[in-house]
Amino acid sequence: MIILLFVIFMTHGLAGDRSSIRGMGMARTLNASARGLDALGINPANLALPGRGFMSLNVLSFGTDVSTELFSYDAYQDFFTGDPSDRSKPRFLTDDDKNRLLSLLPDGFGTTRTDLELFSLGFSVRLQNFGGLALGITDRMGMSIDLPKEYLRMFLFGFDSTGSTYDFAGTAISAWWWREYNISYGIELRLRHPPVRSIALGVGVKLIRGYAAVQTDHYNGIVGVERTGLAEYRGIADFSFLSRRSAIDQLDPDRGATFDLFPEPAGTGFGVDLGLSLELGLGVRIAASVTDIGGIDWEKNIVETSADYAFSFTDPFSSATQDSLENAFKGKNSPGSGFSTNLPTAIRLGVMAEVQRIPGFSGVPGSMLLALDINQGLFSSMGGIVEPRLSLGLEYRIIPLLPLRTGISFLRGDVARWSAGFGLDFYAVTLDVATENLSMVFSPSSFSMFSFSLGLRIRS
């Protein structure tokens, strides 16, 4: 619980791809278009490609989002903030209201998720014919909660006089916080024979220090009431679940640890990024990478929470029944053995085009870049998403020092997310701002996702 509260606080308190503010404004369409420090952790091959300046220093960049699939803020206001005609009076929901509220939730379960990526320090340099080198320190934090709609159904309807059963299978909580020290290198090889004009190769090596992890191994839970006579009932409860957690001392106030910017980790690991980028004619480039290959071994402060209860009762108010129900819902904590988690390995494919270099488009004013990405996650652990993600991005510089960015992304059948951002791109300093959900600006009462990113870079 301490770990979860910490992650929630950090994410709400500050507002992979999220610390690249330029990429966030383009719906995280980065695989072929990232340059310099933006390529760190995305595609190390792009470090060898020319960008704006030969050296850059990241002062501070962060990106965060909070999203839910349960229901929107507009639905919350409609059902849970009082009578629509007079907010000072309570609203009593009818069965039609309750069923309409349930219809807003996805079938099965809905996911509520928070993510925070803090790129605290980074440095990159491009050495002309010798390629490009980058170093960076990034913290990744987040939490994901999967809740079946049966919880809300039980809250709204309770137990029917004819008997009711609620199934909470699929409930899951995960949380993560790790810091990576990344050193990446890319080199470009010029070719004499089209259609491929150059090929860039890159590799990144990461030292991982894990600070917190919560992982649900499995969760099955059923609670219900059966009618056994004219006015007699029997309650049933059947729970079986297991979760594991590991955390540094300073996340547990009982240990009395003091705050430390570089605490002793609860887990350690190793990661690798591999990248490829090909330049074709007509201002087109295609790219591919595999990122976050590796894992974390957790060995410190391991706690397992488990339950394996199956019982029935006729007196819900007896102390024995209440103790059994409490243990069934909460489980019991016990010391656990070390465990391992995979990093959120992902396969990334991308293509980009510099519009003015394409024949017939040289007369377009300013500078325009179009990009398309497809990302496929391989593991759901540590914040990974295994559903494919498609994104389209645009950057347009009609005024050279004011790049305007936008994009659209699609994930696991969800509604399209519209991103936007801009930069103040001076010669030596760049300030970027972006959001991955611009609709929250135009429809603040109906949004179900908050997203914001900010970054400052220095270059020469």
pLDDT of the residue at 443: 55
Indicate if the pLDDT at residue 331 is higher than 70: yes
Q: What is the pLDDT of residues 350-387, one digit of tens each?
A: 999 998 888 778 788 889 999 999 999 999 888 888 88
CATH for 2-70+105-459, among 1.10.10, 3.30.70, 2.40.160, 2.60.40? 2.40.160
Q: How confident is the model at residue 13 (pLDDT cuts 50, 70, 90)?
A: very low
Instruction: Report residue 32's pLDDT band, with 50, 70 and 90 as the boundaries.
Output: very high
pLDDT at residue 414, as a whole number:
62
* Cα-based angle 105, 108, 110 (whole degrees, multiple of 5): 50
Instruction: Give the per-residue pLDDT at 360.
Output: 77
Chain segment 53-92, per-residue pLDDT in tens? 778 888 778 888 887 777 666 777 777 777 777 777 888 8
d(CA 203, CA 196): 21
- Give residue-wise pLDDT tens across range 167-223: 999 899 999 999 999 999 999 998 877 788 899 999 999 999 999 999 999 999 999
User: How confident is the model over 152-181, as a mean pLDDT?
Assistant: 89
Per the DSSP assignment, residues forming a β-bridge with 293 are 272
Q: What does pTM read for this prediction?
A: 0.84
User: What was the pLDDT predicted at 196?
Assistant: 87
- The pLDDT score that the predictor gives to residue 321 is 76
Mean pLDDT across 321-339:
83
pLDDT exceeding 70 applies to what percent of the chain?
A: 91
Would you kindly state where each structural domain of the chain is located, as residue ranges? Answer: 2-70+105-459
3 falls in which pLDDT band (50, 70, 90)?
A: very low
Q: Spell out the SS3 assignment of the chain.
A: CHHHHHHHHHHHHCCCCCCCHHHHHCCCCCCCCCCHHHHCCCCHHHHHCCCCCCEEEEEEEEEEEEEECCCCHHHHHHHHCCECCECCCCCCCCHHHHHHHHHCCCCCEEEEEEEEEEEEEEEEEECHHHCEEEEEEEEEEEEEEEEECHHHHHHHHCCCCCCEEEECCCCEEEEEEEEEEEEEEEEEEECCCCCCCEEEEEEEEEEEEEEEEEEEEEEEEEEEEEECCCCCEEEEEEEEEEEEEEECHHHCHHHCCCCCCCCCCCEEEEEEEEEEEEECCCCEEEEEEEEEEEEEEECCCCEEEEEEEEEEECCCCCHHHHHHHHHHHHCEEEECCCEEEECCCEEEEEEEEEHHHCCCCCCCCCEEEEEEEEEEECCCHHHCCCCCEEEEEEEEECCCCCCEEEEEEEECCCCCEEEEEEEEECCCEEEEEEECCCHHHHCCCCCCEEEEEEEEEEEC
Distance CA 156, CA 1 (A): 26
CA-based angle 62:12:265, to the nearest 5? 65
Q: Is the peptide bond before 316 cis (omega within 30 degrees of 0)?
A: no
By mean pLDDT, which of 45-49, 232-236, 335-339 is the weakest?
232-236
